[in-house]
Every structure is written in C-alpha cells, then in structure tokens.
C-alpha cells in the first residue's frame, strides 16, 4: 500500500492532544484494548451454563452493531457447521424457525424494536432462545419469561462491544454441538490482536502505521471494501465502521460475486471512479481461486483507481478474521479524526429511533411481551 502522507495528516493523527481533543468519548481506547475485551468476554461466555436439546438450525437475531457478530459467526462456522446458521435482521424470524431452532437474540442496548419483536416471535414459536445484551427491555423480559441470557458490560457504543457480543455466540455454538474446535482459536486471536493493536496504536506515526496510512489513503472517497470467504462479514464490518465512526458512505462486496456484476460497474465509471476507493481484504491462506480473482479484478479497475489492501495476521482463522477487523476499526477511527469528527456519537441513528418511537411499533411489541409475561 503506497500512501502519500500529507503534513496535515501527520499533524492530526500523530498529535496525541489533537487525537484526544477530537475522540472525545474515547473510541480509540476500545480499539487499543480489544485483546483485553476478548479475554473478558471469553471468561464470561465460558461461565454460562446452558442446557438445550438437539437443535436443527441457528438464527442470530439483531441489528447493526449487534448483528455483525452473527455475520462473523456465520462465516467462521460455514464450512464445518452441522446445521444451518443464519442472521436475521428483521421484525420477525424466518418461516422455518420453530421449537427445534436455537435463536440468539442480540441487542447491546436491549431496546431495539426489531430485535424485541424477533424476541417476541422466538418466544411465541417456543424456540430455544438465548439473549445477549447489556440490559434494557430485552433482559427485563428475558428474566420475567425465564429465558436464559448473558448480561454484558454496559457503557460501550454497541459496535465497540463486538468482543462481548460475538464471543458468546462462538463459545455457545460450540458447546451446543453446532461446530467444534473453533473457540480454541481465541487464545491465538488475543495475542495477535495485542500485536495488531500495538502496531496500529495512536502513538505509532502515520509513516509506520497501517491503519493511519489506510485512513489517509481513503480519505475524501467512498471506500468500497471487498471480502471473500471468512472475510465476507469482515468487509461488512469495515463498511459499517466507516459509516458510524467516520460518518461517511461506504459499501462492501464479496468475491466471487464481485466478478459477476460489481466489476462491470468500474468499466465505464469515468470520473465517477474518482469518488471511490477500493479496499481488498487479503489473507495468506486465501485459496488460489480467490487469489487469482482478486488479482485479475484489480487489474481490470480503471487506471489511477485508489486501490488498497489489508492483510490479515495470524495462523488460525479466528485470529486472521479478528486481526482484519482490528485494522478496520482503527482505520475508521483515524478517518474520523482526519475529518475532525468525534467517532462515538451516532446522532442520526438516535434521531431515527426517536422518530420511529412515535409510530408506536415498539410500544406494541412491549405490550405483547407484557401480556405474555403476565400469562406465565
Ligand atoms: O452501532 C450502533 O449504534 C447501531 O448499529 C446499533 O447497534 C443498532 O442500532 C442496534 O442497537 P442495539 O445494538 O442496541 O440493539
């Protein structure tokens, strides 16, 4: 990755006073401490005792920062899962879901109306339900309805709580026989995350810092992030972190689907191409067919396109996935700082949730949950 580093970029990203001044709520510290959070999350998940009968499918119900852990789980277990694993971002669960389904209901705040509605749906369909949340109505009703749950630490922006939302999904999926031998990867992942966080830390100057360099490179453009295989959800995570932390539009795609439509979009993009940058996620273990496709696709992009690569680190699949997530998280925060934007607040989401409240949908779901809890 070759990036021209301007003095302006250095003067913002390498000046700790300026960094602290813009990152008022401390989003960077969640990136810096990522390995530690995974350690705590693993301990908490391992303490959960859970007893469900044989299950036929797994659904993770959640939205936004609470759903992305489900996407990572889906990618992680895809090749070895004994049952289908799906993420549901909706008011209701897929039609096939029944009492033989395990539904993880994940909402960091415990207040998201679509997720509460899916919870209601899961309880009504007598699914095996497990909730992950820091509190809110979700845990209030889980307690009243006798639904098992894990209460995760409060005080995080939902997207920064990824370690606490993703880790239990892995540990419990394994414990319930969905997959085997995946959670042992956390040990390596934590040590790799410690190293990657150190390399991307705010004290490491732009000239030597992959995340700062990438932030400088994509600044002023709409980053399009390309994943493949287990990096499909990671690409989505990059995109959502660019949206919420840096407050910019961003898109994500995955191979080899890219080569059946997206690639044509660049063909006659002309001056439009200048509005975008392309970020390819790369992995030393990428299968040769993906390696070939990525190289050929890059070669077909218009001359002068802003093209970047992010390389995963580590040996095991979990370490490789999470190391890329870590670089993306740091990059999105540095991009926010370059743009003079506090990464933490997501005012538009708050406004949207407040406006939606007026429609009464959430209250209706809560009334239904009340009725259900009262009847038990
Ligand atoms: O990152 C965010 O703040 C959002 O994407 C939220 O995660 C999303 O709105 C859902 O809220 P919650 O995670 O509290 O269920």
pLDDT at 2: 54
3-class secondary structure, 306: strand
4 pLDDT exceeds 90?
no
Tell me, in angstroms, the distance from the centre of ligand 1 to residue 91's CA: 15
pLDDT in tens, 313-360: 999 999 999 999 999 999 999 999 999 999 999 999 999 999 998 899
Q: How confident is the model at residue 1 (pLDDT cuts 50, 70, 90)?
A: low
Q: Is there a catalytic annotation at residue 184?
A: no
Question: Per residue in 78-94, is it b (16+ CB within 10 Å) or e — as a string?
Answer: eeebebebbbbbebbbe
DSSP state string for 239-288: HHHIIIII----EEEEETGGGGTHHHHTTT-GGGGGGEEEEEEE-TT--H
Q: Is there a catalytic annotation at residue 244?
A: yes
Sheet (strand 306-311) strand order: 251-255, 222-228, 276-282, 306-311
Q: Mean pLDDT of all residues in the chain?
A: 96
Tell me, in angstroms, the distance from the centre of ligand 1 to residue 109's CA: 7
d(C-alpha 121, C-alpha 201), whole Å: 43
Q: Ligand 1: does its nearest atom lie under 6 Å from the Cβ of 69?
A: no
The pairing of beta strand 57-61 with beta strand 101-107: parallel
Q: Ligand 1: does its nearest atom lie under 6 Å from the Cβ of 63?
A: yes
Q: Ligand 1: does its nearest atom lie under 6 Å from the Cβ of 39?
A: no
What atom in ligand 1 is closest to the CA of residue 349?
Answer: 9
5 pLDDT exceeds 70?
no
In order of 103, 122, 153, 367, the CA distances from 54 in angstroms are: 13, 17, 30, 32
Please tell me the residue having the least CA distance from ligand 1 atom 11. 112
pLDDT in tens, 10-60: 889 999 999 999 999 899 999 999 999 999 999 999 999 988 888 999 999
pLDDT at 53: 85
E strand intervals along 68-221 = 85-88, 101-107, 128-133, 149-151
pLDDT at 9: 82
136 pLDDT exceeds 60?
yes
Of the listed 113, 244, 253, 286, which one is catalytic?
244
High-pLDDT (> 70) share of the chain, % = 99
pLDDT at 79: 95
Q: Are 371 and 123 in contact (CB under 8 A)?
A: no
Q: Ligand 1: does its nearest atom lie under 6 Å from the Cβ of 108?
A: yes
pLDDT in tens, 145-181: 999 999 999 999 999 999 999 999 999 999 999 999 9
pLDDT at 10: 80
Mutate to test the pocket of ligand 1, among 162, 236, 333, 349 (most ligand atoms within 8 A of CB): 349
- What pTM did the predictor assign? 0.96
Q: How confident is the model at residue 6 (pLDDT cuts 50, 70, 90)?
A: confident
Q: How confident is the model at residue 261 (pLDDT cuts 50, 70, 90)?
A: very high
pLDDT in tens, 184-230: 999 999 999 999 999 999 999 999 999 999 999 999 999 999 999 99
pLDDT in tens, 97-135: 999 999 999 999 999 999 999 999 999 999 999 999 999
Q: What mean pLDDT comes out for the span 89-98? A: 98
């Amino acid at each position: 990755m070759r990036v021209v580093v301007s003095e302006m970029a250095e003067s913002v990203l390498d000046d700790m006073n300026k960094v602290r001044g813009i990152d008022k709520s401390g989003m960077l510290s969640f990136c810096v401490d990522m390995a530690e959070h995974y350690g705590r999350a693993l301990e908490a998940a391992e303490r959960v005792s859970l007893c469900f009968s044989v299950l036929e499918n797994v659904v993770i119900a959640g939205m936004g920062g609470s759903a992305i852990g489900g996407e990572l789980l889906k990618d992680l277990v895809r090749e070895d899962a004994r049952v289908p694993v799906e993420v549901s971002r909706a008011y209701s669960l897929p039609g096939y879901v029944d009492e033989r389904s395990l539904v993880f209901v994940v909402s960091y705040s415990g207040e998201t109306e679509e997720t509460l509605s899916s919870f209601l749906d899961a309880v009504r369909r007598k699914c095996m339900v497990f909730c992950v949340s820091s509190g809110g109505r979700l845990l209030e009703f889980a307690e009243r309805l006798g639904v098992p749950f894990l209460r995760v630490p409060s005080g995080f922006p939902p997207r920064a709580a990824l370690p606490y939302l993703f880790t239990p999904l892995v540990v419990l999926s394994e414990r319930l026989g969905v997959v085997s031998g995946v959670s042992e990867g956390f040990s390596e992942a934590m040590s790799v995350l410690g190293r990657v966080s150190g390399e991307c830390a705010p004290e490491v100057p732009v000239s030597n810092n992959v995340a700062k360099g990438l932030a400088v490179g994509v600044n002023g453009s709409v980053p399009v992030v390309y994943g493949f295989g287990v990096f499909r959800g990671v690409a989505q995570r990059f995109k959502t972190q660019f949206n919420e932390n840096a407050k910019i539009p961003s898109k994500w795609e995955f191979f080899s689907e890219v080569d059946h439509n997206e690639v044509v979009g660049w063909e006659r993009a002309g001056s439009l191409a200048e509005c975008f940058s392309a970020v390819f996620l790369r992995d030393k273990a990428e299968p040769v067919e993906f390696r070939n496709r990525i190289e050929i696709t890059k070669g077909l992009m218009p001359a002068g396109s802003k093209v970047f690569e992010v390389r995963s680190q580590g040996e095991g699949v979990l370490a490789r996935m999470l190391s890329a997530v870590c670089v993306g998280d740091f990059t999105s925060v540095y991009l926010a700082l370059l743009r003079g934007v506090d990464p933490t607040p997501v005012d538009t989401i708050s406004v949207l949730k407040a406006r939606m409240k007026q429609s009464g949908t959430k209250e209706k779901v809560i009334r239904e949950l009340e009725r259900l809890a009262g009847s038990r």
